[in-house]
Homo-oligomer: A and B are copies of this chain.
């Protein structure tokens, strides 16, 4: 089985690559090739099968990014939420035209690869007291969410036409992201756990009782790998999945942080930010996620485990990165 990861240098892309390299197989089939593609050449994990890394822009997708005989494409390449809001043209180019480029490459291949796409909870809008059913209409409150909803439509139509076989996973806010704060409006949800664990101060732009739909990196990777070998004949025209994340609050995250590292939450400073709030307050804090359970997407672990997993998986590498 041959796999390509577009956005293979991002934190989820690297984790998926690492897991594939470690397992040597996907869905019970042996891996025979892995291609990693990103704007900067992604690092290659040690593996028992050939791994290729290349750099480029997803809009001008080089054919080598999805070689012939590719079975699975993880399409994670994206401009994140606050960046897409700040630069309309950039967001449209990467998030929409980039998806068109993936469709066009798959169409040329003629072998109907399975395409796993990371859509987002940001493609919905709802207030803080809503639980969204699976068939909810996407009315995005930000350009990133609009572009993700558009990409879902593009991929569902391309699936119907037989160009590819898409599964779009509407990822919750991923907590705890390793690395540094980024331009995602949701960046602070990870920072309020990660930075205190590094002994660093960080800012909280929303109230403590702010509710958010989250998932851990471990869970996100597990879902994306499950989507890669899912039998899509169970899905029909609708190729989009609300995965079973968990609904939590800032207060709950900080409480769990203090339980793992007593007093750590003292590093979190309350500094209201209306720009950030305007974006994240339109994201629904909870989903029913019934269809995902039927399709075998794994259930989520509690918040405490999420923080412990960050310490186990990513804290040392994050420390080393900051020391550089």
Interface residues of A (CB under 8 A from B): 88, 92, 100, 125, 135-141, 143, 146, 149-150, 153-154, 156-157, 160-161, 237-238
Q: What residues of chain B lie closer than 8 Å to A149, measured between beta carbons?
A: 153
Residue of B nearest to A137 (CB): B137
Nearest B residue (CB) for A107: B88
Once the chains bind, are A139 and B237 in contact (CB under 8 Å)? Answer: yes
User: Which residues from chain B contact A157 at a C-beta distance below 8 Å?
Assistant: 140, 143, 146
Q: Which residues of B contact A135 (CB under 8 A)?
A: 137
Judging by beta carbons under 8 Å apart, are B154 and A146 in contact?
Answer: yes
**Which residue of B is nearest A133, CB measured?**
B137
Check if B156 sits within 8 Å of A139, measured CB to CB: yes
- A238 CA to B125 CA, complexed, in Å: 10
Q: A140-B237, A146-B154 are in contact. List 12 more A-B contacts (CB 8 A).
A: A92-B100, A125-B237, A137-B137, A138-B153, A139-B156, A140-B153, A140-B156, A141-B237, A143-B157, A143-B161, A150-B153, A153-B153
Q: How many copies does the complex hold?
A: 2
- In the bound complex, how far is the Cα of B92 from the Cα of A149, in angstroms? 16
Bound complex: CA of A150 vs CA of B135, how far in Å? 17
Contacts of A143 in B (CB 8 A): 157, 161
Would you call A156 and B161 a contact (CB within 8 A)?
A: no
Q: Using A146-B153, A150-B150, A153-B150 as known contacts, say yes or no to A160 and B141 having CB atoms under 8 A apart.
A: yes
Partner of A136, one of B137, B139, B140, B160: B137
Neighbouring B residues of A238 by C-beta, 8 Å: 139
Contacts of A156 in B (CB 8 A): 139-140, 146
Residues of B contacting A140 with CB < 8 Å?
153, 156-157, 237
CA gap between A138 and B238 in the complex, in Å = 10
The interface residues of chain B lying within 8 Å CB-to-CB of A138 are 137, 153
Tell me the minimal C-beta distance from A288 to chain B in angstroms.
14
Q: Chain B contacts of A150 at CB under 8 A?
A: 150, 153-154
> Which chain B residue lies CB-closest to A151?
B150
Q: Give the shortest distance, in Å, between A159 (CB) and chain B (any CB).
A: 11
Q: In whole angstroms, how far apart are the Cα atoms of A245 and B254 in the complex? A: 53
Which residue of B125, B141, B153, B161 contacts A88 across the interface (Cβ within 8 Å)? B161
Q: List 7 A-B contacts (CB under 8 A).
A: A92-B100, A137-B137, A137-B138, A139-B238, A140-B153, A143-B157, A149-B153
For A160, the chain B residues whose CB sits under 8 A away are 141
Distance to closest chain B CB from A70 (angstroms): 21
- In the complex, A238→B139 CA distance in Å? 6
User: How far does the alpha carbon of A88 sit from the alpha carbon of B154 in the complex, in Å?
Assistant: 11
A141 to B157, CA, bound (A): 8
List the 8 shortest-distance A-B pairs measured between CB atoms, nearest first: A146-B157, A137-B137, A150-B150, A146-B153, A139-B238, A139-B237, A150-B153, A135-B137
CB distance from A32 to the nearest CB of B (A): 31
Q: Considering the chains assembled together, what is the distance between the CA atoms of A137 and B154 in angstroms? A: 15
Q: Once the chains are docked, how many angstroms separate the CA of A157 from the CA of B88? A: 10
